Amino acid sequence: MSDVLTPTFLLILIFSTIRGATPLIFAALGGMFSERAGVINIALEGLMLAGAFTAAVVTYELQNPYIGFVAGMAVGAVVALVFAVAVIKFEADQVVTGFAISLLMLGLPAVVSSRIYDSAGSTQQIAKEFLLPEFWNRLPLAAILAFALVPICWYVLYKTPFGLRIRAVGENPEAADAAGVNVIKLRYSAVIISGILAAAGGAYLSIGQSSLFTRGMTAGRGYIALAALILAKWRPFPVLFACLFFGFTEALATNLQGVYKLPSGEDVPVQFIQMIPYVLTIIVLAGFIGLSRAPKALGTPYRKES
């Protein structure tokens, strides 16, 4: 207990917060593009899993984390395209389809892994020298990229014609269509962007934060990223702060294990400490979801009148 609040502990907590927030930032920014265009993206969890598995396999086989990272994003784009076809072209329920994608990606990597490595639980261990690099052994390169993406996404969303059209499509697709915007094409583009970014977050988990892919390693981070997006009211800079908040709760849960004790002298059960990020997610959503105004056309399929 005496070690808490020491400069060393606080420094560890800060860097742990950044590492914990990094995959959430990628996924939440991806979800922002999709939902700003009017498509609910519950599939963020599955997209992260797809990126994590692909990045781990490609990195191990080619011994190059950069190729693995890009490969993970490419597969995320493909899975997002499948999701987009289902919900945009065939007008499937967006929430149900998103859950279906996440469930598929929870099981499919295990099947593929068992065929490749004779292990359904995880891929092969990646040597440390073939993981994404860190600066000063603390600050991941992927974290710098994630933080840099925030102002870039803000600029794209608010200062470019593409961003203006995305926001228009998410608010009033009929008016956007009347102004000459291809609503369907724009929604496809937004969902694919969300797949690329969410998969980047998953890729970081397997070849940056860890050194292999394990089944279900995202552990609900896709849903936490969605909660951060709602808390941030679908805006880039608030997304950053919301993800840092959830990253902090994860860092707190990790670094407080074994610190606090029960009156009997025993350690607080680790399961209770690990619950902290998820309990806070529920509390935040319960308190703030009513204050957030979603894009008006979010979740509404668009049919172009002939």
Angle, CA 188 vertex, CA 185 and CA 80 arms, to 5°: 165
pLDDT tens for 226-236 read: 999 998 999 99
Instruction: Enter the pTM of the model.
Output: 0.93
Q: What is the pLDDT of residues 87-136, one digit of tens each?
A: 999 999 999 999 999 999 999 999 999 999 988 889 999 999 999 998 86
Residues 243-262: what's their mean pLDDT? 79
pLDDT at 279 over 70: yes
CA separation for the pair 232, 240 (Å, rounded): 8
Residue-level pLDDT at 94: 97
Identity of the residue numbered 150: V
Give yes or no for residue 202 having a pLDDT over 60. yes
pLDDT at 265 > cutoff 80: no
7-291 has which fold? ABC transporter involved in vitamin B12 uptake, BtuC (1.10.3470)
Q: Considering the chain, what percentage of its residues have pLDDT values greater than 70?
A: 92
Confidence band of 2 (pLDDT split at 50, 70, 90): very low
Stronger pLDDT, 281 or 40, i.e. the higher one? 40
Q: What is the pLDDT of residues 172-194, one digit of tens each?
A: 999 999 999 999 999 999 999 99
**Cα–Cα distances in Å, from 11 out to 8, 14, 50, 144, 253?**
5, 5, 32, 17, 15
Asked if 52 and 208 count as a contact pair (C-beta separation under 8 A), the reply is: no
pLDDT at 210 over 70: yes
Buried b (16+ CB within 10 A) or exposed e, 150-173: beebbebbeeeeebebbbbbbbbb
Cα–Cα distance, 35 to 158 (Å, whole number): 15
Average pLDDT estimate for 55-76: 97
- For the chain, give the mean pLDDT: 90
Query: Above 90 in pLDDT, residue 255?
Result: no
Task: Indicate whether 262 pLDDT > 80.
Answer: no
Q: CB 194: neighbour CB atoms within 10 A?
A: 31
Is 22 strand, coil or helix? helix
pLDDT tens digit sequence for 16-33: 999 999 999 999 999 999
H helix and E strand count, the chain: 12, 2
- pLDDT at residue 1, as a whole number: 47
pLDDT exceeding 90 applies to what percent of the chain? Answer: 73
Rounded mean pLDDT, 68-81: 98
For residue 254, how many other CB atoms are within 10 A of its CB?
A: 17
Residue identified by tokens 């995202």 is: 218
Q: Give the model's pLDDT for residue 263.
A: 66
What is the arithmetic mean of pLDDT over 41-66? 97
Q: Give alpha helix (H) positions in 119-262.
A: 141-159, 161-171, 173-178, 183-204, 221-231, 236-255
Q: How far apart are CA 282 and CA 233, in angstroms?
A: 16
pLDDT at position 218 over 60: yes
CB within 8 A of 114, min separation 6: which ones? 120
Output the six-digit token pair for 306: 């002939």
Please name the residues in contact with 45: beta carbons below 8 A apart, sequence gap of 6 or more.
102, 105, 218, 220, 221, 222, 223
Query: In which band, very low, low, confident or very high, does the pLDDT at 257 lie, cut at 50, 70 and 90?
Result: low
Domain ranges for the chain: 7-291
Integer angstrom CA distances of residue 283 from 25, 227, 237, 276:
20, 11, 21, 11
